[in-house]
Amino acid sequence: MKLLVLCLCLTFAASQNGVPCGVSVVQPITKRIVGGQVAVPGSWPWMVLVVDSLGYISGSGSIIDQHVILTSAQHFEGTGYSVFDLNLHQWRIYAGSHNISTTDPYEKTYHIRRVVLHPGYNVTSLENDIALIITVEPMQWNDATRPVCLPDAQHGFQVGDNCYLPGWGSTQNTGNEETLNQLMMPILDDSICANHWNDFLPATEMCAGYENQQKDFCADDIGGPLVCKKSNGAWYVEGIASSGGDCTKTTDSPGVFEDVTQYQDWILKTMEESGYPYQY
């Protein structure tokens, strides 16, 4: 009987895609190390690089479906540029990457079909800084390319949770890192970010990171997922790196992330309307 129940649970978790969300074949390092470190190759398989039409890294995102990537709206619209002005057909999505200076064994390139910005996105305040990328080709599941789970009421975050932000942003504010790094970032009370950032929006944003420890994310980490591991063993994307990221040695402020839980309805509706309903 126990075996039957276990099999049913695993079948449900794998969903219609045949691959469970939030489960990596290669286990990431989760020791309580304060500060960034190089990630184990393949340990964050939902990470993607977003590269613009000129070949520059715009930022990163996380896979939530074979055709859908969760990321930041500011990649595609800001002061002086709009999503309608960009040559999105020339942009590229790299999945299965670890070292950006080489072609990794599982690395594959995908094209953007369209980008859906949150209708309430504000270029100036970065309010509702969230977007979905719809790819032309379905992403191929393998050991280094898998989806992360979206949170729900049962799998939200709590203050004190130790979560992780993977990314290729510089650790010294001098450019991109060649290899994927990860930074453990504890969830902080909203009041801490409110003390550091006058424009912090607790209704839709979350606070994570450190005070006075010179550890934060960089501009090239924008759009990346803040992921937390839950009691069921799966990883959930709780936040999207948005603002406050300052990887200079003088930073003493935590990072500001879009709270994915607050956008659950919009994400699910947009995926459904795009023809790719959420499978998990």
Beta bridge partners of 49: 60, 94
Residue 13, class by beta-carbon neighbours within 10 Å (0-12 exposed, 13-18 middle, 19+ buried)? Answer: middle
pTM score, two decimals?
0.89
CATH homologous superfamily of 47-145+263-273: Trypsin-like serine proteases (2.40.10.10)
Chain-centroid distance, C-alpha 80: 25
The token duo for 130 is 């969230």
**Closest listed residue to residue 216, CA positions, set 29, 32, 35, 61:** 35
- What number of CA atoms fall less than 13 Å from residue 78's CA on the CB side? 10
Domain 36-41+147-261 has CATH 2.40.10.10: yes
Distance, CA of 256 to CA of 242 (rounded, Å): 6
The token duo for 10 is 């695993």
Sequential pLDDT tens for the chain (280 residues): 333 333 334 333 455 568 999 999 999 988 655 557 899 999 999 999 999 999 988 889 999 999 999 999 999 987 677 787 788 999 999 999 999 888 999 999 999 999 999 999 999 899 999 999 999 999 999 999 999 999 987 788 899 999 999 988 765 544 556 889 998 999 999 999 999 888 899 999 999 988 865 555 566 788 999 999 999 999 999 999 987 655 554 557 888 999 999 999 999 999 999 999 999 9
Distance, CA of 216 to CA of 257 (rounded, Å): 12
For 171-183, write each residue's pLDDT tens digit. 554 455 688 999 8
Chain-centroid distance, C-alpha 65: 13
Radius of gyration of the chain (CA): 18
For 129-149, write each residue's pLDDT tens digit. 999 999 999 999 999 999 999
- Cβ-based neighbours of 133, under 8 Å, separated by 6 or more: 50, 61, 68, 69, 71, 93, 112, 115
Q: 92-95 and 47-51 as β-strands: parallel, antiparallel, unpaired?
A: antiparallel
Distance, CA of 139 to CA of 157 (rounded, Å): 28
Chain-centroid distance, C-alpha 96: 14
Element (H or E) spanning 182, and its range? Answer: strand 181-188
Distance, CA of 71 to CA of 73 (rounded, Å): 7
Distance, CA of 123 to CA of 120 (rounded, Å): 10
Provide the 3-class DSSP secondary structure of residue 12. Answer: helix
Are 36-41+147-261 and 47-145+263-273 the same fold in CATH?
yes
Domain boundaries, the chain: 36-41+147-261, 47-145+263-273
